[in-house]
Amino acid sequence: MNKSALVLAALALASCHRVPSSSGKLGPGTSTAIVPVETPAGVKTANTNFPYLNGRGKVHFKRKDSDMSANFNLRIRRDSAIWLSGSLLGIEGVRALLTPDSVRVVNRLEKTYFAGDYAYLSQLLNVPVTYHQMQDILLGDYQPAPKGALPVVKTEGDNQAVTYPQAPLILEQLVSISTGRLQQLKVSESAAQRSLTVGYADFQVPIGTQLLFAFTTNVLGQQGGTESTSATLNYQKVEVGSGHLDFPFSIPKGYDKQTKVKK
């Protein structure tokens, strides 16, 4: 199993930051109605606000000559930790833990590990990325324009198309007018001719909330105008709420440290 597959898919996939751990389960979510909130740019959005997410499903990954599928488990503690486990035939091959200031990945099949910063994911995804951008991508949340950026907002069919610069990137987002949920995100860096496109589909209401959530996420990374990596996450179950989750992570003795992304 390629380490890149699971990290990208969990996206697309803590040194100084301590990750709280608990053996409790997710508690019930709120049952209040979801009302889209209008941003300063006039875009009506309905982003998630639950503290925890626990999801599982299957991921299909394609990269160069690789074409594979695996099971995945994803856990998120908002603004604190993203935990991912990928397995094949019931055997865990990859485990990753992302915090706001660190990225750690263990590849049990190759007996290697990575421990470092977001330069790792930036290389893997071909565009600069931060923890909160990864969190927004995985939750399917709209990313508002940073201070000083002037969004261009247009109506395209049933969606609002929002484009703004976030140096050195350009962000393009499609937001459903009726639900406020993000339909597509494209992050591109024209100078380097690279981009990352994330599409959201199969919206359902998960356990613990009334907010629609995309049970299918399609990720496409491109370099030089050609497809380089693609992944599709299909959730089989998603739970959200205000309870607690474990984020177990350790590096086994004898594993070799990986210092760069394998292209």
- Specify the DSSP class assigned to residue 66: E
For residues 55 and 238, the answer to whether their CB atoms sit within 8 Å is: yes
Across 49-62, average pLDDT = 92
Residue 9, in any domain of the structure = yes
Residue 257, in any domain of the structure = no
User: For a pLDDT cut of 90, what percent of the chain falls above it?
Assistant: 49
Cis peptide before 100 (omega within 30 of 0): no
d(CA 74, CA 82): 7
202 burial class (0-12, 13-18, 19+ CB within 10 angstroms)?
exposed
- Torsion sign, CA atoms 79, 60, 7, 171: negative
Q: What is the DSSP string of 238-255?
A: EEEESS---------TTP
Strands (E), 167-205: 169-176, 182-189, 194-204
pLDDT at residue 30 is higher than 60: no
pLDDT at residue 82 is higher than 90: yes
Q: Three-state SS for 192?
A: helix
- Tell me the pLDDT tens digit for each residue of 197-206: 999 999 999 9
| Per-residue confidence band for 258, with pLDDT thresholds at 50, 70 and 90 | confident
User: For a pLDDT cut of 70, what percent of the chain falls above it?
Assistant: 82
Beta bridge partners of 197: 186, 220
Give the residue from 190, 187, 96 showing the smallest Cα distance to 143. 187
Residue 260, in any domain of the structure = no
| Per-residue confidence band for 32, with pLDDT thresholds at 50, 70 and 90 | very low
Q: In whole numbers, what is the pLDDT of the chain averaged over residues?
A: 82
Least confident of 54-68, 121-135, 193-207: 121-135
What are the b/e assignments for 35-52, b being 16+ CB within 10 Å?
ebeebebebbbbbbebbb
pTM assigned to the model? 0.83
Look at 53 and 223; give whichever has higher pLDDT: 53
Residue 243, in any domain of the structure = yes
Please tell me the predicted confidence (pLDDT) of residue 168: 80
Residue 259, in any domain of the structure = no
Across 12-24, average pLDDT = 33
**How many domains does one find in the chain?**
1
Residue 258, in any domain of the structure = no
- Tell me the pLDDT tens digit for each residue of 150-202: 899 999 999 999 999 887 889 999 999 999 999 999 988 877 677 889 999 99
CATH number at residue 242: 2.50.20.10
**Residue 68 CA neighbour count, 13 Å, CB half:** 18
Residue 164, in any domain of the structure = yes
Give the residue from 145, 147, 205 showing the smallest Cα distance to 175. 145
Domain that holds residue 109: 3-30+40-251
For residues 189 and 197, the answer to whether their CB atoms sit within 8 Å is: no
Written as six digits, the tokens of 110 are: 């190759």
Residue 263, in any domain of the structure = no
Q: What is the DSSP string of 121-158?
A: HHHHHSS---HHHHHHHHHT---PPPTT---EEEEETT
